[in-house]
């Protein structure tokens, strides 16, 4: 009570409120817990995580974005950290674990500053200055891309994943696929990864994977009487049904005479035959239909030696149009010779336990396909995730034309430069910049920890090498100590590092600025103002 008056309630009963230092501590603890959850997966010697969902489905991976996506996280601050991984995955395809680990370390170090009575807004300003400076410094370390560098970028992305044993093989496929679909527009390189169609099939080994200069359809021909292989294919892409048309409104046909019935059926057959004749007359010997094909039409196609596939996906139709140069037709009557796509061969092959259609030898293919194989479903899924990272970083490096040395070398170099930069900044922001500088060393330190090396000795060796001007030296996870990453051909796209630093610092700033958490839930991770884990 206040002055004998009743208290005024402005929030619903059961609402939880945490404010001040307690709110900041809880948010930082949640963010650090998420970072620690994925930290052991970082680097070539990183371990995998097995995730089992409520349905019992199992995912085995060391891909940071996948792990965080599969984890059932409740805490709102922890969810903000997951957003970093999503952003990193969308823009750079790789570096998700690094971004999350850097964000966790920034918050950990900012907590130490808050305890020294440095105000959160001062820390945020220091982090902003450091983040902007780091973006400038990254440009100084950039190396121009060559086709050989692209392959090494792919190998670096694949190292430490389940596909690491065949990284040369998959790296070669990644580079060839990206170069096949890349285009120059106004002297700017553009790579649309939607033009690379990836199909996965279990059975066989990873080395049975292949790049196809055309399109793979997870379909089979509609009639066993059709040819299995068609050479010098002329392909009609049709997105309407090759069936007898139904009326738009309800209609009833009354037949009172058997002759009328036979005439009616004969007319239907003639209509379907006329559609097939029309397709055949323009020279098409392969039909890819987005909708259904009537049984009778299938029979006439088989007699005419036409290879047909039905119910193809819209995305497959668009990819086929790009690969073969054919136009997608809505009305069969409008089909002309100019609308047909061309391919050297269309073939149905048995892959694993199902049939697939391979459309290959497209002369000016702007769309290609990759078939990934693996012994089990879990292996194929992890190979797919690794390949997505690999082809993604190659595309990013090819577009930007710049890469950086890996192994934590660039982050160690930026960390050293930021320390010098901090000395010229007055006020308490200097402490925040120094904390930011130290936080970047978490990546080389974690690489050393995951490889079973002494992290303290490794960081000392790394600082010594960089003080001698060896700015490309990073952590040697195989033999211990430090080594020249340029000579070891360990590269990553500059965009991956820049985005990781930017998104980590922005999220850290956002979490630091929160001093009041109001939750309408009566239960959950913030009940009683205590952080209660991640709800995994």
Give the catalytic positions in this structure. 63, 96-97, 389
Distances (CA, A) of 79 to 14, 15, 69, 296, 348: 22, 20, 10, 55, 46
Give one DSSP letter per residue of 101-128, joined into a string.
HHHHHHHHHHHHHHHTT--HHHHHHHHH
Is 46:96 a contact under the CB 8 Å cutoff? no
Asked if 83 and 91 count as a contact pair (C-beta separation under 8 A), the reply is: no
Residues linked to residue 481 through DSSP beta bridges, in sequence order: none
From the list 174, 184, 182, 185, the residue with the least C-alpha distance to 150 is: 174
CA distances (Å), 155 to each of 140, 148, 271, 523, in order?
A: 24, 11, 56, 46
In sequence order, which ranges of 191-341 are alpha helices (DSSP H)? 258-281, 295-303, 314-324
Which has the closest alpha carbon to 88: 409, 452, 508, 502?
A: 502
Q: Which residue in 172, 194, 189 sits closest to 366, CA to CA? A: 194
Distance CA 403, CA 24 (A): 37
Residue 309 DSSP SS3: strand
CA gap 318, 289 in Å, rounded: 12
Q: What are 484's strand-pairing partners?
A: 473
Cα 331 from Cα 337, distance rounded (Å): 14
Tokens (6 digits) for 102: 């850097």
Cα-Cα-Cα-Cα dihedral of 496, 498, 501, 503, to 10°? -80
Pairwise CA distance, residues 484 & 473, whole Å: 4
Rounded to 10 degrees, what is the CA torsion of 525, 527, 528, 532?
A: -20
> Cα angle vertex 416, ends 476, 46, to 5°?
30
């Amino acid at each position: 009570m206040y002055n004998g008056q009743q208290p005024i309630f402005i929030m619903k009963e059961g609402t939880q409120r945490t404010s001040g230092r307690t709110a900041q501590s809880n948010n930082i603890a949640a963010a650090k817990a998420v970072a620690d959850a994925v930290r052991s997966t970082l680097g070539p010697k990183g371990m995998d995580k097995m995730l089992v969902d409520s349905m019992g489905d199992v995912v085995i991976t060391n891909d940071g974005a996948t792990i965080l996506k599969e984890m059932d996280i409740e805490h709102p601050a922890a969810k903000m950290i997951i957003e970093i991984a999503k952003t990193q995955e969308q823009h750079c395809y790789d570096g998700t674990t690094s971004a999350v680990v850097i964000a966790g370390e920034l918050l950990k170090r900012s907590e130490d500053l808050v305890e020294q009575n440095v105000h959160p807004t001062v820390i945020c300003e220091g982090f902003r200055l450091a983040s902007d400076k780091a973006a400038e410094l990254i440009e100084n370390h950039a190396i121009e891309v060559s086709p050989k560098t692209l392959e090494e970028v792919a190998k670096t992305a694949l190292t430490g994943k389940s596909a690491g044993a065949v990284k040369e093989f998959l790296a070669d496929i990644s580079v060839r696929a990206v170069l096949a679909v890349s285009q120059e527009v106004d002297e700017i390189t553009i790579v649309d990864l939607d033009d690379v169609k990836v199909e996965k099939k279990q059975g066989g080994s990873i080395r049975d994977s292949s790049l196809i200069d055309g399109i793979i359809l997870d379909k089979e021909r509609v009639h066993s009487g059709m040819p299995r292989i068609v050479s010098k294919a002329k392909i009609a892409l049709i997105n309407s049904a090759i069936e007898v048309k139904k009326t738009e409104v309800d209609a009833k046909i009354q037949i009172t005479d058997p002759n009328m019935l036979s005439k009616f059926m004969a007319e239907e057959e003639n209509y379907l035959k006329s559609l097939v004749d029309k397709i055949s007359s323009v020279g098409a010997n392969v039909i890819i239909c987005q909708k259904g094909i009537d049984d009778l039409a299938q029979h006439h196609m088989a007699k005419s030696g036409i290879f047909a596939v039905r119910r193809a996906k819209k995305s497959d139709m668009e990819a086929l149009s790009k690969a073969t140069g054919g136009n997608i037709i809505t009305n069969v009557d409008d089909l002309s010779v100019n609308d047909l796509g061309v391919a050297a061969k269309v073939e149905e092959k048995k892959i694993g336990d199902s049939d697939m259609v391979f459309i290959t030898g497209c002369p000016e293919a702007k769309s290609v396909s990759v078939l990934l194989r693996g012994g089990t479903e879990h292996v194929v899924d992890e190979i797919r995730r690794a390949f997505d990272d690999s082809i993604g970083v190659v595309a990013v490096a090819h577009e930007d034309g710049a890469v950086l040395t890996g192994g934590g070398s660039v982050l160690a170099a930026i960390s050293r430069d930021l320390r010098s930069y901090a000395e010229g900044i007055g006020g308490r922001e200097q402490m925040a910049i120094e904390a930011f500088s130290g936080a970047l060393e978490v990546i080389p330190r974690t690489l050393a920890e995951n490889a079973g090396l002494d992290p303290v000795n490794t960081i000392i060796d790394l600082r010594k090498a960089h003080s001698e001007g060896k700015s490309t030296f990073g952590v040697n996870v195989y033999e211990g100590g430090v080594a020249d990453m340029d000579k070891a051909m360990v590269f990553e796209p500059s965009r991956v590092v820049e985005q990781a630093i930017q998104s980590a610092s922005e999220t850290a700033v956002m979490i630091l600025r929160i001093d009041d958490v109001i939750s309408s839930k009566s239960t959950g991770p913030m009940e009683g103002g205590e952080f209660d884990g991640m709800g995994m």
